[in-house]
Amino acid sequence: MSAPGDLPPKPGAHAEQVSFWRYLRLLRSDILSALPTRLYRAWMAEYRTPFFRSYLINQPALIDAVLKARPMDFPKSARIGRGLRPLLGRSVFLTNGAEWQRQRRIIDPAFEGGRLRDTFPAIWAAGEAAVARMDEGPREVEADMSHAAADVIFRTLFSLPIDDKIATEVFHQFRTYQRSQPILNLAAILPLPDWMPRGHRAQTRRTAAAIRALITQVTQARMAQIAQGHAPDDLATKIITTTDPQTGKRFSTEEMVDQVAVFFLAGHETSASALGWALYLLARYPEWQDRLAEEAEAALAGGPDFAVMGQLRLARDVFRETLRLYPPVPMMVRETTGVETFRDRTLPRGAQIVISPWHLHRHERLWDNPDGFDPARWATQNGKQCLREAFIPFSTGPRVCTGAGFAMVEGPLLLAMLVRAFRFETLPGRVPVPVAYLTVRAKDGIWLQVRRR
């Protein structure tokens, strides 16, 4: 458990009151450091602009109402989705209503049943490749984890290792895109009118088009393999060949490209973010790293058997604690479809509702030691209660991330494999500052000293 004076880093929030015009100046800046400190203890906060009203909610009952009890009454905000549409098209991440329901009916079966067990050998192989690529010395491990997570998603989705030409090119293009397009900016809290420019860079649009062109190539190649009857039995084949039980139709090529793009975002970006921060936390708290290395040595000695996941309990708790402190997707935005009453306040139709895992996971009125790193918290009464009520790194309710179970295999397994082989140590003067790009990343990367065990 981290001591009060030795806490993991987080960006310094601004004062309790920050003017609207100051927020406008921060439009292109990082949203995590632009918000007032009171959000770490408020149940609800209202932001008024000359154009709209936004409401950030932290109270678990309100979050349940929006995400679990009445999700169709609170669709995803179209204004927020516009920033990602050049890459994600009309993917399941951005759609609402009947279109989203149809997409989930086709996608969800690929992740049901024994699919986690089926994909385990590919995840293990990607982990072995990540260990083989890792060298001793100062390393920017965030880049290493991006490489590893991209390898996992291509092996499990298309049966392609990252050294495949197209997979490699998608990875490098996505690294460029990740740094140029924030998933959130000021519009999440203070949404601007439709006529105001969104500030999308020309480079962002070009990179999105290049990524989609590459994904189209590999998708068309897989569809041809399926037509010829010799396609690998992986996630892509499963999704392409699944028909909507209500309409009997499959995804078109363009629709499949949309979904592959979001799988790469959700399955690569989020895992890379979490793994990078997990390695930093373990380097900062070496006593936890040593305990994890011992667990990994005992659990992984027998080779790639899915049963090892039941033995990697500490790896799971460390990864879960990382998701709490550094949730890859720091905020989610929904929109009211009618007049609502939250905490005696009237929310007009079209108001933005911001649900912030970043603030919820560190909420001072919910968590014991909210800013501290403590993997043992999940065995406490407070930790168990917060796990049920205040822990949503993958969202919750009907729109929970389809790959949440997948991530909770990939993350702990790769973490265990890396820590078993290497010792990670902090470097003087290299304290990473969290910022919101596509996911919560470090402003200047995460640099660690790596030594072979």
Residue 285 predicted with pLDDT over 70: yes
In sequence order, the 6+-apart residues with CB closer than 8 A to the CB of 416 are 292, 295, 296, 299, 300, 312, 315
| Structural Rg of the chain based on CA atoms | 21
Q: Is residue 427 part of a domain?
A: yes
Task: Answer whether residue 10 is part of any domain.
Answer: no
User: What's the burial of 348, exposed, middle or buried (CB within 10 Å: 0-12/13-18/19+)?
Assistant: exposed
Contact predicate 424/2, CB 8 Å: no
Query: Above pLDDT 70, what percent of the chain?
Result: 88
DSSP string, 136-198: SEEEEHHHHHHHHHHHHHHHHHHS--TTSHHHHHHHHHHHHHHHH--S--GGGTSPPPTTS--
Query: For 98-151, how does the pLDDT look when each residue is reduced to its tens digit (9 = 90+)?
Result: 999 999 999 998 888 678 889 999 999 999 999 999 999 999 999 999 999 999
Q: How confident is the model at residue 20 (pLDDT cuts 50, 70, 90)?
A: low
> How much is the pLDDT for 8?
85
User: Does any domain span residue 2?
Assistant: no
What's the pLDDT score for residue 396?
96
β-bridge mates for residue 433, sequence order: none
Q: Is 4 part of a structural domain of the chain?
A: no
Rounded to whole angstroms, how far apart are CA atoms 439 and 453? 31
**Residue 221 lies inside a defined structural domain of this protein:** yes
- How do residues 374-431 score in pLDDT, each as one tens digit? 999 999 999 999 999 999 999 999 999 988 999 999 999 999 999 999 999 999 999 9
* Separation of alpha carbons 437 and 446, rounded Å: 14
Whole-number pLDDT of residue 113: 67
Tell me which DSSP letter residue 395 carries. B
Please state, in angstroms and as integers, the Cα–Cα distance from residue 66 to each residue in 54, 173, 264, 353, 396, following that order: 14, 35, 27, 9, 10
Helices 404-421 and 286-300: angle between axes, nearest 10 degrees: 100
Look at residue 54 and give its three-state secondary structure.
Answer: strand
Instruction: Write down the pLDDT at residue 228.
Output: 94
Residue with tokens 């265990």: 416
Per-residue DSSP letters for 1-43? ---TTSPPP-PPPB-S---HHHHHHTTTS-STTTSBGGGGT-S
User: In whole angstroms, what is the distance from residue 88 CA to residue 75 CA?
Assistant: 17
At 321 the pLDDT is 98
Query: What pTM did the predictor assign?
Result: 0.91
Residue 27 predicted with pLDDT over 60: no
pLDDT surpassing 60 at residue 15: no
Looking at residue 88, its pLDDT comes to: 87
Q: Is residue 356 part of a domain?
A: yes
Q: What is the total count of domains within the chain?
A: 1
pLDDT at 26 over 80: no
CATH number, domain of 62, equals 1.10.630.10
Query: What is residue 356's predicted lDDT score, i.e. its pLDDT?
Result: 94
Per-residue pLDDT reduced to its tens digit, 59-76: 999 999 999 999 999 999
> What is the predicted pLDDT for the residue at 145?
94
Establish if 15 belongs to a structural domain: no
In a domain? residue 106: yes
Q: Which pLDDT does position 2 carry in this prediction?
A: 60
Is residue 97 within 8 A of residue 76, CB to CB? The reply is no
Domain span including residue 237: 20-452
